[in-house]
Structure 1
């Protein structure tokens, strides 16, 4: 008997009664939800996941609107967040600011410690 996990992989939930595909964008409806999502992704330390999370939030809020608030072009935002890109800190910070978010730094192990605005 072989262990074939591929039989458990689903490309889609279409046709399975009572289940629908999950799209995180549908749940990014409040500033608190967005902040919690971004914080969770940041804690992973995965920069590709961070770019994907920012794209999800931009999709939820409207790319053109946030790009304008961030002082960037829509095309520039897409270019900065494509998989092969390595966006500058200023670009990420501008996007987060456009989303109404700020980056704070706390000491490791002290999630309630003093924060420094970035």
Structure 2
């Protein structure tokens, strides 16, 4: 009998600001740009992609394109979306 699996969508689990922050922190700690972009997109989907796109000054389609697995958002797009999500990009010394 074949094993049945279901697709896991992280956006369904991001139900609080604390969960979103922990998810984004883990992605940034990993450091993979594609993972970071995907995580930001997951949080935006959890909050409502259309609303976040509007608040960031982007189209919904541009948001989906930029934050999909193969996307490559500009720093301007990342900064605008993180601001619309209520987060702030910062830098700190490693270690």
Q: TM-score range by the shorter chain?
A: 0.7 to 0.9
Unaligned runs of 5+ in 2: none
Name whichever structure is richer in helix by fraction: 2
Contact kept in structure 1, 2:52 and 2:85, CA below 8 Å: yes
Unaligned runs of 5+ in 1: 1-9, 14-20, 110-118
Distance 1:42 1:62 in 2: 22
1:94-113 aligned at under 5 Å gives the runs 94-109=80-95
Alignment RMSD: 1.9
1:36 aligns with 2:22: yes
How many pairs were matched up?
A: 93
1:92 aligns with 2:78: yes
Shift of 1:56: 1.2
Between 74-83 and 95-104, report the one with greater CA deviation: 74-83
Q: Which has the larger radius of gyration?
A: 1
Shift of 1:23: 3.5
Contact kept in structure 1, 2:27 and 2:39, CA below 8 Å: yes
Superposition TM-score, scaled by structure 1 size:
0.69
